[in-house]
Amino acid sequence: MAFTRRGFVQTVGLGSAAALTGSWIGARGRENALWSAFEPTLQAVEPGLICLSSNENPLGPGKVVMKAVRNAFGEGGRLPGRYSGTSDDLIDAIAKKFSVKRENVVLGCGSTQILRTATHLFTAKDKALVGTIPTYEECAGYAEMMGHPVRPVALDAEFRMDLDKIADAAKGAGLIFYCNPNNPTATYVGAKATRAFLTKVNRESPDTTILVDEAYFDYVTDPDHDTHVPVAIENPRVIVARTFSKAYGMAGLRLGYAIGHADTITKMKEWDAGSGTSSLNVLALHAGLAAIEQDASFTAAERARNTAARDFTLKWFADRGMKPTASQANFMFVDIGRPAKEFREACRAKGVLVARDFPPFEKTHCRLSFGTIDEMKKAVAVFGEVLGKKAATAA
């Protein structure tokens, strides 16, 4: 019962990989507060701080969505007193956007609920979770908590997911967590390679489910880019997770969804006891509907904004000899040649928040999210001051 994540992962032992696993989720869980009952919750972001720690859209959901939230209060502001009721309209809108059927869609309280459910459903004592290291920690956290084995797979030299190694590790596994672009490394595997990977895993390990997390989908600018929803609706072993927390700017509202084969989606709903909307707040349901019904210009504008901030920030680091990975997301992973903790604390003292540790690279690399271009101009000034000093700890 003791909450010894680290201890557990070490017992899994996977030859040379074991050295890596010990620290997979040694840092905080996804976007910090995953296990807040046991770990101190981070301080809220004080006014005036530049928050580059959580891969959020710095502009929020925009006017159309916030108007929908206002309307959701109903007459006299009474509506939040009512249970959320049916989510049929939002599910229909999502189904329409992706040209799928409503049976292919399940909503979640953020994609976190989707990831939780998938991990519970598709891993077991004898069905491992496979994922790259580092990646977003949530699935691994759940698997470990339940005593289900976790198989971490090292990245390639470019900090990309190593698809051959993942496919090898997946033989006989229960679930692959495939976050693309990958958090925290920001690298992206093209659509063609991903499709080939899905086919290969299906062939070599037909009982393994692959959860393709497309959280950062809208930030990708690589031309070889496509959603894997069409594969998912045909293939019971592929699920796509999406969230309103990133490009749609709704991290505070808690709304995500999965798209997959009707049989798989039914299983996921069943696991959550067919509880429908019980985890979804009514404001999020209204906001989500308004968000998804916007035309593509909303995400296009957010992508363009992010791309400009990304180009600016990547260049700033590259110009100073610090190598970022090839970011296709709204954050970057960069070799700062010193521990992330040291950098983080120094930046925080100057009003800029950057992300938690991501073992096994916590001694050299930092993840930072892209704020607005104004925020990034202020942030790099702080980075310049902090990184201009000699590292207190030799990397």
Partner 1 sequence: MLQSRRDFLGVLNGGRAGFDAGEWLAARGHEDFQAQAAQGRRPRVELPPGVKAVKINSNENPLGPGKAALDAITRKFPEAGRYPFNSTPGDGQLVAAIATKFNAKPENVVMGAGSQEILKSAVRAYTSPTKALVTASPSFENCPGVAKKLGHPVVAVNVDSAFRLDLNAMADAAKGAGLVFLNNPNNPTATVHGAKAISDFVERVRTSSPGTVILIDEAYHDYVTDPAYQSAVPMALSTPNVFVARTFSKAYGMAGMRVGYAIGQVDTVKAMARLRMPYNISVFGIAAALAALNDSQHLEQERARNTEVRAFTVKALEGLGCKCTESQGNFLFVDIGRPAAELRDACAKQGVLVGRDFPPFEKTHARISIGTLDEMKRATAVFRSVLRPVTTTAGR
Q: Scanning residues 176 to 235, which ones bind partner 1 (CB under 8 A)?
A: none
Stretch that binds partner 1, among 64-72, 125-133, 191-199, 341-349 (CB under 8 A): 64-72
Min dist CB 251 to partner 1, Å, is 5
- Interface with partner 1 in residues 109-138 (CB under 8 A): 109-110, 112-113, 116, 138
Q: What angle do CA 136, 132, 146 make, to 5 degrees?
A: 65
| Pick 228 or 246: Cβ nearer partner 1 | 246
| Pick 230 or 276: Cβ nearer partner 1 | 276
Residue 282 sits in the site that holds partner 1 (CB under 8 A): yes
Min dist CB 89 to partner 1, Å, is 6
Distance in angstroms (rounded) separating the CA atoms of residues 178 and 161 = 9
- Interface with partner 1 in residues 140-179 (CB under 8 A): 145
Residue 288 sits in the site that holds partner 1 (CB under 8 A): no
Residue 72 sits in the site that holds partner 1 (CB under 8 A): yes
| Pick 116 or 242: Cβ nearer partner 1 | 116
Residue 330 sits in the site that holds partner 1 (CB under 8 A): no
- Interface with partner 1 in residues 77-96 (CB under 8 A): 77-89
Complete DSSP assignment for 1-49: ----HHHHHHHH-BTBTHHHHTTTTSS-BTTBTTTTTTSPPPPPPPTT-
- Interface with partner 1 in residues 11-50 (CB under 8 A): 29-38, 40-47
Residue 332 token pair: 């970057």
Residue 250 sits in the site that holds partner 1 (CB under 8 A): yes
Among 7, 278, 296, 384, indicate the residue that binds partner 1 (CB under 8 A).
Answer: 278
Q: Are 184 and 366 in contact (CB under 8 A)?
A: no
- Interface with partner 1 in residues 298-317 (CB under 8 A): none
Buried-exposed string 149-168: b where 16+ CB fall within 10 A, e elsewhere: bbbbbbbeeebbbbbebbbe
Residue 274 sits in the site that holds partner 1 (CB under 8 A): yes
Residue 219 token pair: 């930030």
Min dist CB 85 to partner 1, Å, is 4
92 CB-near residues (< 8 Å, 6+ apart): 102
| Pick 52 or 332: Cβ nearer partner 1 | 52
> HSE of 139 in the Cβ direction (CA atoms, 13 Å)?
35
Residue 59 sits in the site that holds partner 1 (CB under 8 A): yes
Among 60, 172, 190, 236, indicate the residue that binds partner 1 (CB under 8 A).
Answer: 60
- Give the residue among 57, 98, 51, 110 at the shortest CA–CA distance from 301: 57
Look up residue 367 and give its DSSP letter.
E
Among 9, 50, 61, 178, indicate the residue that binds partner 1 (CB under 8 A).
Answer: 61
Q: How far is CA 87 from CA 67, 68, 148, 341, in A?
A: 19, 15, 33, 42
